[in-house]
Amino acid sequence: MTDPRSSSTPPGDANASEPSGARAPGPRPLAPGLYIVATPIGNLRDITLRALDVLAGADRVFAEDTRVTQKLLSAHGLGARLDSYHEHNEARAGASALAALEAGERVALVSDAGTPLISDPGYRLVRAAIAAGHSVFPIPGPSAVLAALCAAGLPSDRFLFAGFLPAKAGPRARAIGEVADLRATLVFYESGPRLAEALAALAATLGPRDGVVARELTKMFEEFRRDRLDALAVHYAQAPAPKGEIVILVGPPEGADAPDPDEVDAALKAALAHLSVKDAADEVARRFALPRRDVYARALALKDAL
């Protein structure tokens, strides 16, 4: 078994390194391996040429719901051998996908919408394929998290995608608390019936911030509602539960500009006087709400200079 942490150069796609400005080449034969194929999140035209090539050329396409994928394939005039792969048959379907890979086949994985593995099944299969030494090819395309982020009007230089919040109040409040201090835009997936509760919980823990509710992206009733987080919570508490699919985005903490580097260094030096590099970095990262990895690197440099 190959160590999944090791890196290898996969045979790749023969189209991969076209000179810029060159005309997009036609499809070439697919190399054996696992293809993670992004599909539309609403508008069926949001599919890449390469995704269509892979779906047309794969020996087998594993789909979360074969009926949904059949519709997509039919809309593009494609036929493919479809098998189901979803969270309730992951073990069995995963074994069958691995057997196909073992036999040298080209295997595609798609979810109902967007990018597989993003709040969707597929992670275990990708891990197992890598461990067994197979190539895994990303076929990038739509994902609701990026579609929402790029049009929300919130800072996009740093963001945290936190998936779905827990449904129960206690675990939900804890999950929000864990990300409250991050200097990043927060992105959550949510459903209509739970939207008002989720916004109220976010407003209660995160305080005054900008928020955006992005609904039905790329579909006929696409909508962005941009407001303060507490105002959004009030709006949706008073309105009927919205229909359709939803992404919630929350801007970074306000008035939280980057701390003075001299102050951070002084705190690190003080902490290094009685703590290990790791503990000093942990403490200072927490105090200034900075990424632990960056503070650890700075702590190492300061320790060396001491």
Q: Are 103 and 83 contacting, i.e. CB atoms less than 8 angstroms apart?
A: no
| 245 DSSP β-pair partners | 191
Triad 65, 186, 163: Cα angle to 5°: 25
Q: What is the largest CA-CA distance in the chain?
A: 68
Residue linked to tokens 């008002």: 196
| 214 DSSP β-pair partners | 224, 247
- Using the contact rule CB under 6 A, the part of the chain among 90-98, 169-177, 205-213, 242-250 near ligand SAM is 242-250
Q: Is residue 216 within the footprint of ligand SAM (CB under 6 A)? A: yes
The residue among 73 and 217 lying less far from ligand SAM, judged by its C-beta, is: 217
Triad 53, 58, 60: Cα angle to 5°: 145
Q: Are 41 and 164 contacting, i.e. CB atoms less than 8 angstroms apart?
A: no
Amino acid at site 197 = E
The residue among 41 and 107 lying less far from ligand SAM, judged by its C-beta, is: 41
Q: How far is the CB of 149 from ligand SAM (least distance, A)?
A: 11
Q: Is residue 141 within the footprint of ligand SAM (CB under 6 A)? A: no
| 193 DSSP β-pair partners | none
Q: Round to whole Å and give the CA distance between 186 and 1.
A: 38
Contact pick of 246, 268, 280, 302 for ligand SAM (by CB under 6 A): 246
The residue among 113 and 271 lying less far from ligand SAM, judged by its C-beta, is: 113
Site track 83-122 with ligand SAM (rule: CB under 6 A), x = hit: ----------------------------x-xxx--xxx--
Contact pick of 202, 247, 268, 290 for ligand SAM (by CB under 6 A): 247
The residue among 13 and 120 lying less far from ligand SAM, judged by its C-beta, is: 120
| DSSP notation for 138-194 | EE----HHHHHHHHH-S--SSEEEEEEPPSSHHHHHHHHHHHTT-SSEEEEEEEHHH
Pairing of strands 106-110, 82-84: unpaired
Helical segments of 24-89, H only: 49-57, 66-75
Q: Round to whole Å and give the CA distance between 161 and 66.
A: 27
Q: Is residue 190 within the footprint of ligand SAM (CB under 6 A)? A: yes
Q: Is residue 48 within the footprint of ligand SAM (CB under 6 A)? A: no
Q: Is residue 185 within the footprint of ligand SAM (CB under 6 A)? A: no
Q: Round to whole Å and give the CA distance between 160 and 179.
A: 8
Q: Is residue 230 within the footprint of ligand SAM (CB under 6 A)? A: no
Q: Is residue 39 within the footprint of ligand SAM (CB under 6 A)? A: no
What SS3 state is found at 296? helix
The residue among 116 and 302 lying less far from ligand SAM, judged by its C-beta, is: 116
Contact pick of 245, 251, 268, 296 for ligand SAM (by CB under 6 A): 245
- Using the contact rule CB under 6 A, the part of the chain among 149-157, 185-193, 233-241, 267-275 near ligand SAM is 185-193
Q: Is residue 42 within the footprint of ligand SAM (CB under 6 A)? A: yes
Q: How far is the CB of 229 from ligand SAM (least distance, A)?
A: 18
State the number of binding residues for ligand SAM (CB under 6 A): 24
Q: Is residue 69 within the footprint of ligand SAM (CB under 6 A)? A: no
Residues binding ligand SAM (CB under 6 A): 41-42, 111, 113-115, 118-120, 143-145, 189-191, 214-219, 245-247
